[in-house]
Chain A
């Protein structure tokens, strides 16, 4: 840690930036079908006559971009939640956001509530609404007892929400028939095959806002690592920072889940790996996690759709297969 921060930041951004760019550029080139790139990019063949182009631009490219969006949002909001709760084991799903999203998606799938607008499929909008509801409840509970935001109450409220929503999910489960149950399961394991750019475009403003707030939060999160009092006496407006952290990370998670479903392990594997590489300073960890999270999920998705072609594994299974052993290794190596 001897090099000045400015230089380390530049190095980190470049290194991880290259990694993310490489992932975005190479992933659409790979797939279960072999296509001719020349034909895909041909300007003479009309799009409607060009299956190679359609595979590239409808099947693979939106999927890659969705992977980048979801991966970066889940990884960076994982970092923010870990900083907010002062616990490296916190995940974007600890506080009930994904349970709310899951309930929203389930209700949509089971009872056929469709908000099919702007070409977005049924589940995303209700799942986002569900995640907002969960966030609102947890936030209200945490603030009820405190002028500021008690992280202990936050944690308790989040865990309670998870349990409560899980019970509701079981209840809705009962009304679902075969096909609905299958589709819910499928959604729960993650699906980046969005086949259209609309979900990405719709989520983009929220992503941009979250990233801006995360950038601002980097140093406050460092201070919060001491403890809230020490952060306050060093001049940090602690309640404001906690509110900003909670709301931005929750919204980012909600957006990510509404695009690709609740894909697990990214929010905890990526931050841990990144910290091992660049140290604990959030000004490095946050951007690096966003970039590495994008690359990581894109890579997992490539594996998911090619390893057993033409059968496709759910991407959440791949992230779990990578994340599980990684976790065990982390636990074992800890002092």
Chain B
């Protein structure tokens, strides 16, 4: 389990972006980090991934401080899917996915048939196997996103290689930063479906940072509401996502209801909150 305890973080010479944040990423399931722009979501994700070190507080993986674990070992457990990926050179899709195998190979070791099988399995899991030999830069935004997810899955070994589904469970953690930001509506739905199916089959832990209320509500059972670098509320989605909380987080009056077709919480923003004079 990945846990942040009282994390404080500031970029060099700037005001603190995270001011004492505590949260957990459960062993299996979705957790959403929700908040407006500038709330510190991306930074929180980076500290959870171990990419940056907190100024104070700790981030622990199975009770061990991330700073005490080697980069390679962390990488085998945890993978990050950034908002956008721009390649400097024109690698093919399969080459990009194989880059996820880096933490599993020693310095001069070359990817073997097993690595290749894992990579192709990861592509299949995200429905992108037929793009295997395409140049990454020629893909659409949605396709690129799914390929990067496949690379992340290959990194944490979260793929079906065994025939027996019982052995398919995985203690890997996937962190996604604003995955819907650059996607069309169709791809957003597709992404949600892919993530849901992945989580069901492989039982991995998935943390998503986003400002898209409905996307988070539809996918995540637990939420962490982040405002100005502090946790406004955290807990189960049903408990946490209330009109009061949304008002406090976004300054917006919204209706929260359970949608008849999907059965999930749906948020409809109504109008901006007007400050009523005392």
Contacts and interface: CB of A to CB of B under 8 A. Distances in A.
Q: Let me know if chains A and B touch directly in the complex, using CB atoms closer than 8 Å.
A: yes
A227 interface: yes
A235 B154 CA distance: 13
B51 A223 contact: no
Interface in A223-249: 223-227, 229-230, 232-237
A280 interface: yes
Nearest to A9: B110
5 contacts: A1-B95, A2-B133, A83-B88, A222-B99, A279-B91
B79 A233 contact: yes
Contact of B103 (A82, A86, A234): A234
Interface in B70-101: 71-72, 74-76, 78-80, 82, 85-92, 94-96, 99-100
B116 interface: yes
A87 B108 CA distance: 25
A190 to B, nearest CB: 28
A232 B82 CA distance: 12
B107 A4 contact: no
Contacts of A4: 113, 116
A261 to B, nearest CB: 30
Interface in B27-66: 46, 49-51
Contacts of A225: 87-89, 91
Nearest to B148: A230
**Residue in A223, A233, A279, A280 with the greatest tally of chain B CB atoms within 10 Å:** A233
B102 A223 contact: yes
Given A1-B94, A235-B103, A236-B71, 5 more contacts: A82-B88, A222-B99, A233-B78, A234-B75, A280-B95
Nearest to B51: A232
Interface residues of A, number: 33
A223 B80 contact: no
A186 interface: no
A216 B88 CA distance: 20
Contacts of B110: 5-6, 9, 283
B244 interface: no
Nearest to B76: A235
A1 B90 CA distance: 12
B184 interface: no
Contacts of B113: 4
Nearest to B116: A4
A216 B133 CA distance: 27
B95 A234 contact: no
Given A4-B116, A9-B110, A234 B100 contact: yes
A87 to B, nearest CB: 7
A237 B102 contact: no
Contact of B82 (A219, A229, A236, A279): A229
Interface in A187-218: 215-216
B255 interface: no
Given A226-B87, A229-B80, A235 B94 contact: no
Given A1-B133, A88-B89, A233 B116 contact: no
B102 A235 contact: yes
Given A1-B95, A229-B82, A235-B74, A86 B88 contact: yes
**Top 8 A-B pairs ranked by shortest CB distance?**
A235-B75, A235-B103, A280-B89, A86-B88, A233-B80, A235-B72, A225-B88, A234-B102
B103 A5 contact: no
Contacts of A312: none
Contacts of B72: 235
